[in-house]
Amino acid sequence: MKPTVRLQREPFDAAAEATKLARGRNDVGAVVTFTGICRGTENGEPISALTLEHYPGMAEAEIGRHAAEAAGRWPLLGVTIVHRYGRIEPGEDIVLVVTTSSHREAAFAAAEFLMDYLKTRAPFWKQVERTDGNAWVDAKAADDSAAARWMPQRRTSGS
Amino acid sequence: MNVKLRYFAWVRERVGKPEEQVEIPPTVATVGDLMAWLASRGAEYAHAFENRNVIRAAIDQNHVRPETLIKGAGEIAFFPPMTGG
C-alpha cells in the first residue's frame, strides 16, 4: 500500500480523493475522511486570512514518514494526505486526511494519529492577517499532548 | 565545514534572509553549539536565537535535537515549533 502525499496551493476535493481510495475494491469496509478548515478567528480574534509557510521537500518527506508509520501500526488499505500552503481564507480547506481499511477501528485511529502528528511535526507555519497587522500563530501545548498520546507506552516492571 | 543554513517563519524574519551558505568552525560540534555560534554573529542572529529552547532544527530534512552532531550535514534548518495541519 503506497500512501499518497501531496502539497499544493489549490483547494482539494475531499469526496473525490476518498472515492479514489475506495472505488473498484471489495476489501475496503471503512473510509474515514478528515478535513481541516480555516476558521474566522484565532485565539478569539477575527482574522481575514492565514498564510501557510512550509519547508519544501521536508514537508512531503515528513508527512510521508507519518503515513508509513500509520501503515505499520494499523492494517490500512489506503492513505491520502493533501496539505495546502499559501494564502487561505476563512471557510477554505487546509488539510485532508483519508484512511481506508477493512474495518472501522484502524481507519478512525490512523486518521486521528496522522492529524496529531501533522499538527506537531509537519514543517508548516501559520501567519494570520488581523486588522492590527500580521502575527505568527503559536504552537499549542494541547497539540503536543495529543501527539504524545501515540508514543509507545513504557512497560512498568512486574506488569 | 561548509553547510547550507535555512530559516523559516519568524526565525527567517529576524535573521533577515531565508538561507545562506556558511563556513562553520570545527569547534562547533552540535546543533546547540551552532545556535550559540550563530547568535554571536550579529544583532539580528542574537534576536532570532535569543530563546534557544523554542527553536527547532532539522538536518537534511529530518528533525534533530540540540545534542545532535552536525558533522556531515548538507543542510541545516532552524524554525519555530510547527503549526501545520
Test the A interface: residue of B7, B76, B82 with most A CBs within 10 Å: B82
pLDDT per residue as tens digits for the range A96-151: 999 999 999 999 999 999 999 999 999 999 999 999 999 999 988 888 888 888 88
* pLDDT tens-digit readout, A34-51: 999 999 999 899 999 999
In CATH terms, the superfamily for domain A4-137 is Molybdopterin biosynthesis MoaE subunit (3.90.1170.40)
CA angle, A137 then A143 then A148, to 5°: 145
SS3 A101: strand
Chain A touched by B65 (CB under 8 Å): no
**Chain A / chain B CB contacts < 8 angstroms:** 72
B8 interaction partners in chain A (CB closer than 8 Å): 53, 55, 123, 125
Q: Among partner residues A95, A115, A122, which is closest to B82 by beta-carbon distance?
A: A122
- For A46-100, the pLDDT digits (tens) are 999 999 999 999 999 999 999 999 999 999 999 999 999 999 999 999 999 999 9
ipTM: 0.95
B54: which DSSP letter?
Answer: G
In the block, which residue shows the cell 527553536?
B55
**Which 3 state secondary structure label does DSSP give B20?**
strand
Kindly list the domain boundaries of chain A, sorted by start residue.
Answer: 4-137
Contacts of B73 in chain A (CB under 8 A): none
| Cβ-nearest to B85 among A55, A122, A138 | A122
- Please check whether residue B13 is in contact with residue B19, taking contact to mean a CB–CB distance below 8 angstroms: no
pTM: 0.93
